[in-house]
Amino acid sequence: MVKVVSPGELKSLLFKVFKALNVYDEHAELIADSLVCANLRCVDSHGVSRGLDFINGIRVGEINPRPNIRVIREDSASVLIDGDRGIGIPVAYEVTRRVIEKAKRLGVGVGAAKNLWNVGALAYYVMKIANEGLVGIALANARARISIPGVKSAIVGTNPIAVGIPTASEPIILDMALSTAAFGKIVLAARKGEKIPEGWALNKEGKPTTDPKEALEGFLLPVGGYKGFGLAVVVDILCSIFIGAPYSLVISGKGPYTQGGFLIMAMSPNMFRSYDEFVKDMDNYVSTLKSLPKDPGVEILMPGEPEARCYKERLSKGIPLDDEIWGQLVKISKELGINV
Residues that bind a copy of itself (CB under 8 A): 73, 75-78, 80, 106-108, 110, 112, 135, 148-153, 155, 161, 163, 165, 172, 174, 176, 180, 206, 223-225, 227-228, 230-231, 233-234, 237-238, 240-244, 247, 249-250, 265, 267, 269, 271-273, 277-278, 281-282, 285, 288-289, 292-295, 297-298, 300, 302-303
Nearer to a copy of itself, 107 or 318 (CB): 107
**Contact by Cβ (8 Å): 24, 46:** no
Q: How many CB atoms lie within 10 A of CB 183?
A: 17
Q: Output the 3-class SS for 258-277.
A: CEEEEEEEEECHHHCCCHHH
Nearer to a copy of itself, 73 or 195 (CB): 73
Nearer to a copy of itself, 193 or 293 (CB): 293
- As a residue count, the chain comes to 340
Residue 78: CA count within 13 A, CB half-sphere: 7
Q: Name 321's bridge partners.
A: 3
Q: How far is the CB of 292 from a copy of itself (least distance, A)?
A: 4
- Give the separation between CA 232 and CA 306, rounded to whole angstroms: 24
Q: How far is the CB of 231 from a copy of itself (least distance, A)?
A: 7
Nearer to a copy of itself, 8 or 149 (CB): 149
Nearer to a copy of itself, 118 or 240 (CB): 240
Q: How far is the CB of 61 from a copy of itself (least distance, A)?
A: 29
Nearer to a copy of itself, 302 or 329 (CB): 302
Q: Give the CA angle between residues 61, 67, 73 to the nearest 5°.
A: 135
Q: How far is the CB of 208 from a copy of itself (least distance, A)?
A: 13
Q: How far is the CB of 236 from a copy of itself (least distance, A)?
A: 8
- Give the separation between CA 78 and CA 37, rounded to whole angstroms: 27
Q: How far is the CB of 229 from a copy of itself (least distance, A)?
A: 8
- Give the separation between CA 25 and CA 269, rounded to whole angstroms: 35
The helix (H) or strand (E) run that includes residue 324 is: helix 323-335
